[in-house]
Chains A and B, each alone.
Chain A
């Protein structure tokens, strides 16, 4: 356990050295936040004030929470594992007395622990000062929200890790990574909330793990879902974590048996 904690804190420190990149990220997130709020707000005006329970303040909260959590949840893909598979260094990783998946998972938590406050707070403050935020009226929103956020970080990690593992079977995972990015940004609620999708698209989204990594934590933190409904949302997230752990473990198990055959 201690070893994984050390890995997480090392990743936290590594990420914190890129100060200029952090500042640049906050700036860009804010510009995108203003554009995203603009278009959502224009749609609200066109629809007569509200869409699916989103009024001006709720829309603003949705957009700025999303911009704040973007880097923390880690929506963008990373290629380190597939890169190590390609170069063969993965064999060294596997011989270490650490679980490969757990060590990457711990590092991803270290990254998120830095990114959430470093890149999350400022966009939220900018949003509160300019377009306004709707604060949740339930005191459970914050603790449940934090837990939901930790689940979202895990789901995002497991999906990216799974895409990386495909490199055991094919040389070029770039195509799969692009496809993942495409589906994720559409179905997670990254552009517009899943709640305002037309029915058929909502059904597809709800059947995928993607809303659990973006829409769900935003819903719980902003207090759109409270009490039993919030617990239900978190329950779905936990089920996805279990399913994704199972799938990635299976993939790794198959991949390792292939590795042995090739290495023999």
Chain B
């Protein structure tokens, strides 16, 4: 059987997986060539994440609890959300560049190649330097596990490990969704920022601070409260506010599937719309 396959295989062609791996390797090598530039960018990315934390820090120097959470509890939410978001940004952040790709005619080149457009986009500009921010989220989350002296039960270990993974999946879906919308409205990248960056902003906060309409929007349409806040309620043994009962945290996989379904539909419609219009 193995022999048959090797015979059938054209020696000049490489498998799809190998071709992705080659592109990715070359992208990473290219970024590591300018070492100092890479490190400056990685450090910058670390501090960009840290800066977003300053808002929560400043608010909590003025009040004992924010949305019913203490400093350590709110910080755990921030750390887990930040880890999930930066992993998604690392892989799918390029969808931000779609308007530029369209202007420069790069997208046409993607469309004629026999690979999915999304896969090409991811591999075309894989930004390893964004790893700095993921590191920040990881460090903050680990520090808070000790600071809060969390009970490391099987339930909590499961939640601590899976939350950033489902979180990354949900944020990644938002990136793809926003990318899909940008095929229609070229000038509208700011419109999609409302979901991606507004969503990430909301996801990093204790969900209980959000006004009721925002709670519903950012849980049942763009499920960012599931990326950290709801699982944290379970971990910390807290009750959720109105519209956000803690047990929703167990449904993170369902929310992740929902957001990918939404993203897939919009992306597909977007790419089709674009080929139709571009001729």
Q: Tell me the A residues contacting B by CB distance below 8 Å.
A: 18, 20-21, 23-25, 27-28, 31-32, 34-35, 37-44, 46-47, 51-52, 172, 175, 178-179, 182, 185-186, 191-192, 196-198, 201
Across the interface, A52 reaches (CB within 8 A) one of B47, B62, B66, namely: B62
Given contacts A175-B40, A175-B41, contact A43 B59 (CB under 8 A): yes
Given contacts A20-B185, A21-B190, A24-B188, contact A192 B47 (CB under 8 A): no
Additional pairs, 10, CB under 8 Å, beyond known A24-B188, A42-B209, A47-B63: A18-B187, A20-B185, A23-B191, A27-B191, A31-B194, A32-B198, A38-B211, A39-B66, A39-B209, A186-B51
Most A Cβ at <10 Å: residue of B62, B185, B194, B213: B62
Query: Across the interface, which residues of B come within 8 angstroms of A198, CB to CB?
Result: 58, 61
Cβ contact within 8 Å between B64 and A46: yes
Cβ contact within 8 Å between B188 and A197: no
A41 and B66 alpha carbons, distance in the complex (Å): 10
Cβ contact within 8 Å between A28 and B193: yes
Q: Tell me the B residues contacting A by CB distance below 8 Å.
A: 37, 40-41, 44, 47-48, 51, 54-55, 58-67, 185, 187-191, 193-194, 198, 201-202, 205-206, 208-211, 213-214
Query: Across the interface, which residues of A come within 8 angstroms of B60, CB to CB?
Result: 43
A50 and B201 alpha carbons, distance in the complex (Å): 24
Across the interface, A172 reaches (CB within 8 A) one of B37, B189, B201, B205, namely: B37
A197 and B57 alpha carbons, distance in the complex (Å): 9
Cβ contact within 8 Å between A43 and B62: yes
Query: Across the interface, which residues of A come within 8 angstroms of B210, CB to CB?
Result: 35, 38
Cβ contact within 8 Å between A35 and B59: no
Task: Describe B's contact surface by its main secondary structure.
Answer: helix
Given contacts A42-B208, A42-B209, A46-B63, contact A24 B191 (CB under 8 A): yes
A28 and B64 alpha carbons, distance in the complex (Å): 31
Across the interface, A182 reaches (CB within 8 A) one of B47, B190, B213, namely: B47
Cβ contact within 8 Å between A39 and B205: yes
Query: Across the interface, which residues of B come within 8 angstroms of A185, CB to CB?
Result: 51
Task: Describe A's contact surface by its main secondary structure.
Answer: helix
Cβ contact within 8 Å between A38 and B214: yes
Across the interface, A179 reaches (CB within 8 A) one of B37, B44, B62, B63, namely: B44
A24 and B214 alpha carbons, distance in the complex (Å): 19
Q: How far is the CB of A199 from chain B (nearest CB, A)?
A: 10
Across the interface, A42 reaches (CB within 8 A) one of B67, B188, B193, B202, namely: B67
Across the interface, A32 reaches (CB within 8 A) one of B185, B189, B191, B194, namely: B194
A250 and B40 alpha carbons, distance in the complex (Å): 28
Query: Across the interface, which residues of B come within 8 angstroms of A18, CB to CB?
Result: 187
Given contacts A35-B201, A38-B214, A42-B67, contact A196 B188 (CB under 8 A): no
Across the interface, B51 reaches (CB within 8 A) one of A21, A28, A182, A201, namely: A182
A226 and B213 alpha carbons, distance in the complex (Å): 36
A186 and B67 alpha carbons, distance in the complex (Å): 22
Query: Across the interface, which residues of B come within 8 angstroms of A178, CB to CB?
Result: 44, 48
Cβ contact within 8 Å between B188 and A20: yes
Across the interface, A192 reaches (CB within 8 A) one of B59, B187, B189, B202, namely: B59
When C-beta atoms are compared, the residue in chain A nearest to B41 turns out to be: A175
Given contacts A32-B198, A192-B55, contact A21 B187 (CB under 8 A): yes
Which 9 A-B pairs rank lowest in CB-CB distance, beginning with the nearest?
A: A46-B63, A24-B191, A42-B209, A47-B63, A21-B187, A28-B194, A191-B55, A24-B190, A31-B194
Cβ contact within 8 Å between B58 and A201: yes
Most B Cβ at <10 Å: residue of A43, A182, A192: A43
Query: Across the interface, which residues of B come within 8 angstroms of A24, CB to CB?
Result: 185, 187-191
When C-beta atoms are compared, the residue in chain A nearest to B54 turns out to be: A186
Q: How far is the CB of B1 from chain A (nearest CB, A)?
A: 53
Q: How far is the CB of A208 from chain B (nearest CB, A)?
A: 15
A47 and B193 alpha carbons, distance in the complex (Å): 31
Query: Across the interface, which residues of B come within 8 angstroms of A40, CB to CB?
Result: 59
Provide 14 A-B residue pairs closer than 8 Å at the C-beta atoms, listed in order of the A residue.
A21-B190, A24-B191, A25-B190, A28-B190, A28-B198, A35-B198, A39-B59, A42-B67, A43-B63, A178-B48, A182-B47, A191-B55, A196-B61, A198-B58
A18 and B48 alpha carbons, distance in the complex (Å): 29
A192 and B214 alpha carbons, distance in the complex (Å): 20
Q: How far is the CB of A185 from chain B (nearest CB, A)?
A: 7
Cβ contact within 8 Å between B214 and A20: no
Cβ contact within 8 Å between A197 and B66: no
Cβ contact within 8 Å between A46 and B65: yes
When C-beta atoms are compared, the residue in chain B nearest to A34 turns out to be: B214
A185 and B213 alpha carbons, distance in the complex (Å): 27
